[in-house]
């Protein structure tokens, strides 16, 4: 059994400094609810009102779009029951995705909250920003997860929220902790904004370079020609997917035959594609054996094959980092000598509307091999394809580096919360 450090004490929420306290939330703040705004009360203009879902968006530093409104007269009737949020109040989503919090800012617009949101009124003995971070800390999160009521939809009642236990340092230390964590939040938000800006720049570059509107150094547009898919530079050609790549379907080994599964051969499903954020797919949830490959219609695809979803999420695509097989939800492309695989990878998102147009199905959409093969594409020379693709790939590399830095910042914040909100590190 580990000893408790000098100057610390053991509590029901763990070891904390001796001058810190554990309080039930209802002992230090006032929590209020409001009247539910019925759909029949929604208006096109008037006083905006926020539900749990809007609070969830705000908690992620987002902006509320498509705001909902109630009439001023109805607001006045409701407001006598529960005043609108004030700066410093904490809004707590209490229905559905429970436990998301937002601290009302002084510059926030005036709004009303409905019954799916609880209002934790600002108190003189607790810093609002500190309380917000406590709600995002695992100690309070665990209490929310274990104590939410409702058989179908999770719900937090005022009575339940009043019982949440909070670790409370002296007020000045609360403020210092909140400022340190807010500074980290600002760094994280700035990193997110930079990533979003870089993505916008890349999207614009894709539209310009893949259409020929902008040419890279060493390539010059001497004229334009009109084609079935629009105007393209005179030195570009129009081709079809079926002419620039072999289109290969997948297969599934017999699922009840254990000897076909858990081998060394990657076996990709559309779910593997959607959960992979980068360009390349390196691992899959399931693998098959050599026997599974031999006894099914699955085909071993070479490195740099384009794994193109042909069912449900039609048009989603990743690049094979290793030799790989797929199930029947794919029409994978193995490019020939006329097409550079990475250029086609960047071109596919612009072909997705045409793929959907050529898809069919009542339960889920699917595109056939022949319909996919018939889709027309614009192609520069192979060397220009490669130059364009490498330019866009460099942009992706930069974005991935920024995303890795963002993950490090998030990891640092989690560590800071663990140290600061338990008093392991003291700022005062």
Per-residue pLDDT tens digits for 248-282: 999 999 999 999 999 999 999 999 999 998 999 99
CB of 359 closer than 8 Å to CB of 314? yes
- Give the pLDDT confidence score for residue 107 in this predicted structure: 85
170: left (phi over 0), alpha (psi -120 to 50) or beta: beta
Percent of the chain with pLDDT over 90: 80
Range among 107-116, 133-142, 156-165, 196-205 with highest mean pLDDT value:
196-205
Choose between 62 and 373: higher pLDDT: 373
Tell me which residue has tokens 């002084």. 106
248: left (phi over 0), alpha (psi -120 to 50) or beta: beta
- Give the pLDDT confidence score for residue 74 in this predicted structure: 87
DSSP 33: -
- Asked if pLDDT for residue 404 goes beyond 90, the answer is yes
CB of 30 closer than 8 Å to CB of 121? yes
- Asked if pLDDT for residue 79 goes beyond 70, the answer is no
What pLDDT band is residue 108 in, cutting at 50, 70 and 90?
Answer: confident
| Beta carbons within 8 Å of 230's beta carbon, 6+ residues apart | 211, 378
What pLDDT band is residue 151 in, cutting at 50, 70 and 90?
Answer: low
From 153-157, 236-240, 299-303, 326-330, the region with the lowest mean pLDDT: 153-157
- Give the pLDDT confidence score for residue 82 in this predicted structure: 64
Q: Average pLDDT for residues 69-81, to the nearest whole number? A: 81
Tokens, residue 388: 């364009």
- Give the pLDDT confidence score for residue 33 in this predicted structure: 87
Q: Average pLDDT for residues 173-186, to the nearest whole number? A: 96
- Give the pLDDT confidence score for residue 86 in this predicted structure: 87
- Asked if pLDDT for residue 1 goes beyond 60, the answer is no
If you write DSSP's letter for every residue of 55-100 in order, what string do you get?
A: HHHHHTT----S-EEE-HHHHHHHHTTSPPP-TT-EEEE-BSSTT-
324-344 tens-digit pLDDT: 999 999 999 999 999 999 999
CA distance linking residue 225 with residue 233, whole number of Å? 6
CA distance linking residue 373 with residue 332, whole number of Å? 11
Average pLDDT, the chain: 93
- Give the pLDDT confidence score for residue 101 in this predicted structure: 93
| Beta carbons within 8 Å of 187's beta carbon, 6+ residues apart | 409
- Give the pLDDT confidence score for residue 85 in this predicted structure: 85
- Give the pLDDT confidence score for residue 127 in this predicted structure: 95
CB of 18 closer than 8 Å to CB of 170? no
Q: Average pLDDT for residues 3-26, to the nearest whole number? A: 94
Task: Provide, for the chain, the percentages of residues in helix, strand and coil under a 3-state DSSP scheme, each rounded to the nearest 5.
Answer: 40, 25, 40
- Give the pLDDT confidence score for residue 359 in this predicted structure: 95
What pLDDT band is residue 146 in, cutting at 50, 70 and 90?
Answer: confident
| Sheet order of strands, 90-93 included | 30-32, 117-121, 90-93, 101-103
Residue 397: CB atoms within 10 A of its CB come to: 11
- Give the pLDDT confidence score for residue 365 in this predicted structure: 92
pTM of the model: 0.86
Q: Average pLDDT for residues 128-137, to the nearest whole number? A: 94
CA distance linking residue 406 with residue 77, whole number of Å? 46
- Give the pLDDT confidence score for residue 2 in this predicted structure: 63
- Asked if pLDDT for residue 387 goes beyond 90, the answer is yes
Q: Average pLDDT for residues 283-291, to the nearest whole number? A: 97
- Give the pLDDT confidence score for residue 3 in this predicted structure: 84
Tokens, residue 299: 């085909």
What ranges in 296-378 are assigned the alpha helix state H?
341-357, 369-373
- Give the pLDDT confidence score for residue 81 in this predicted structure: 58
Q: Average pLDDT for residues 397-418, to the nearest whole number? A: 97
How far is the CA of 102 from the CAs of 111, 178, 230, in angstroms?
Answer: 14, 14, 48
Choose between 58 and 201: higher pLDDT: 201
If you write DSSP's letter for every residue of 126-188 in order, what string do you get?
A: B-HHHHHHHHTSHHHHHHHHHH-B-SSS-B--HHHHHT-EEEE--HHHHHHHHHHHHHHHHHH
Tell me which residue has tokens 């009737």. 77
Four-point Cα dihedral 176, 181, 182, 186, nearest 10: 140
Q: Average pLDDT for residues 61-79, to the nearest whole number? A: 84
CA 404 to chain centre: 15
């Amino acid at each position: 059994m580990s000893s408790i450090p000098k100057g610390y004490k053991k509590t029901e929420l763990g070891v904390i400094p001796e001058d810190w306290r554990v309080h039930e939330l209802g002992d230090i703040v006032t929590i209020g609810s409001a009247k539910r705004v019925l759909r029949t009360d929604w208006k096109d203009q008037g006083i905006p009102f926020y539900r749990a879902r809007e609070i969830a968006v705000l908690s992620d530093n987002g902006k509320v779009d498509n705001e909902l409104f109630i009439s001023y007269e109805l607001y006045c009737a409701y407001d006598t029951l529960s005043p609108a949020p004030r700066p410093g109040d904490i809004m707590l989503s209490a229905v559905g995705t429970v436990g998301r919090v937002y601290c009302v800012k002084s510059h926030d617009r005036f709004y009303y909250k409905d019954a799916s949101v609880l209002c934790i009124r600002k108190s003189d003995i607790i810093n609002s920003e500190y309380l917000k971070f406590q709600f995002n800390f695992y100690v309070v999160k665990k209490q929310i997860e274990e104590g939410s009521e409702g058989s179908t939809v999770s719900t937090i009642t005022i009575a339940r929220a009043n019982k949440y236990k909070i670790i409370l340092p002296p007020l000045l230390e609360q403020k210092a902790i909140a400022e340190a964590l807010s500074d980290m939040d600002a760094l994280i938000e700035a990193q997110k904004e930079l990533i979003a800006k870089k993505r916008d720049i890349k999207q614009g570059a894709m539209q310009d370079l893949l259409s020929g509107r902008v040419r890279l150094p060493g390539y010059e547009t001497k004229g334009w020609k009109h084609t079935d898919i629009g105007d393209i530079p005179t030195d570009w050609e129009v081709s079809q997917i079926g002419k620039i790549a072999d289109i290969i379907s997948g297969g599934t080994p017999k699922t009840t035959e254990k000897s076909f599964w858990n081998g060394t051969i990657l076996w990709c499903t559309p779910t593997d594609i959607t959960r992979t954020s980068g360009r390349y797919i390196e691992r899959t949830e399931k693998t098959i054996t050599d026997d599974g490959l031999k006894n099914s219609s699955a085909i071993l695809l070479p490195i740099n094959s384009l794994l193109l979803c042909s069912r449900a999420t039609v048009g989603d695509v990743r690049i094979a980092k290793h030799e790989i097989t797929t199930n029947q939800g794919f029409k994978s492309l193995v490019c020939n000598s006329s097409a550079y695989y990475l250029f086609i990878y960047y071109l596919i998102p612009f072909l997705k509307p045409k793929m959907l147009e050529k898809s069919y199905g009542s339960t889920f959409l699917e595109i056939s091999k022949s319909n996919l093969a018939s889709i027309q594409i614009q192609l520069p020379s192979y060397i220009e394809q490669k130059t364009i693709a490498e330019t866009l790939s460099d942009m992706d590399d930069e974005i991935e580096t920024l995303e890795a830095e963002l993950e490090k910042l998030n990891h640092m914040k989690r560590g800071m919360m663990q140290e600061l909100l338990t008093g392991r590190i003291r700022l005062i």
